[in-house]
Amino acid sequence: MKKIALIIIGSIMQLCAFAQIEAPVKWSYAAKKTGPAEAVVFIKATIEPGWHIYSLNTKDGGPIKTSFIFNKSTTYSTVGKPMEPKPTVHYEKSFGMNVSYFEKEVVFQQKIKLKKAATTVKGTLEFMTCNDHKCLPPADIAFNIPVK
């Protein structure tokens, strides 16, 4: 009996050791100066097939919307709100409502006013990703985007 219990426990431990954390969204960043005191930062999500992330404008009562918090700085300030392309809108049974989301990839943009010629835009983004079977817990990711 002890041998069977040890084999079962060993098998479970082995399976747990090979379990992988799912990360179906990869983030990348860039910035482009649009004038001597202006720039746009680009925050790109590359999403694995079958998964999606939610719009900046997702309604309350549904999934966690994508959001950005830009750190306060003496070298830059944000101008307006982050922008996104037109999302796909679809009814999701799990939330009981129409939701706006992106698949494959999406590039968000934020205009900034420069108070110095070169700076680094810092902040945190929050997002939630789902597929047709499950949603992963919301994640917070810090970012640093150099503007030269």
Residue 91 domain flag: yes
Residue 80 domain flag: yes
- pTM for the full model? 0.84
Q: How far apart are CA 43 and CA 130, in angstroms?
A: 19
> What CATH number is given to the structural domain containing 85?
2.60.40.1250
Residue 36 domain flag: yes
Burial class (CB in 10 A: 0-12, 13-18, 19+), 44: middle
H-type helices in the chain, by residue range? 2-18
Three-state SS for 137?
A: coil
Residue 47 domain flag: yes
Residue 4 domain flag: no
pLDDT in tens, 53-62: 999 999 998 9
Give yes or no for a contact between 106 and 32, defined as CB atoms under 8 angstroms apart: no
Q: How far apart are CA 27 and CA 78, in angstroms?
A: 20
Instruction: Assign 3 a pLDDT band (cuts: 50, 70, 90).
Output: low
Domain that includes residue 135, residue range: 24-147
Q: How far apart are CA 34 and CA 125, in angstroms?
A: 23
User: What average pLDDT does this structure show over 128-140?
Assistant: 94
Q: How many domains does the chain have?
A: 1
Residue 118 domain flag: yes
Instruction: Assign 35 a pLDDT band (cuts: 50, 70, 90).
Output: very high
Residue 69 domain flag: yes
Residue 13 domain flag: no
Residue 96 falls in which region: left (phi positive, over 0), alpha (psi -120 to 50) or beta: left
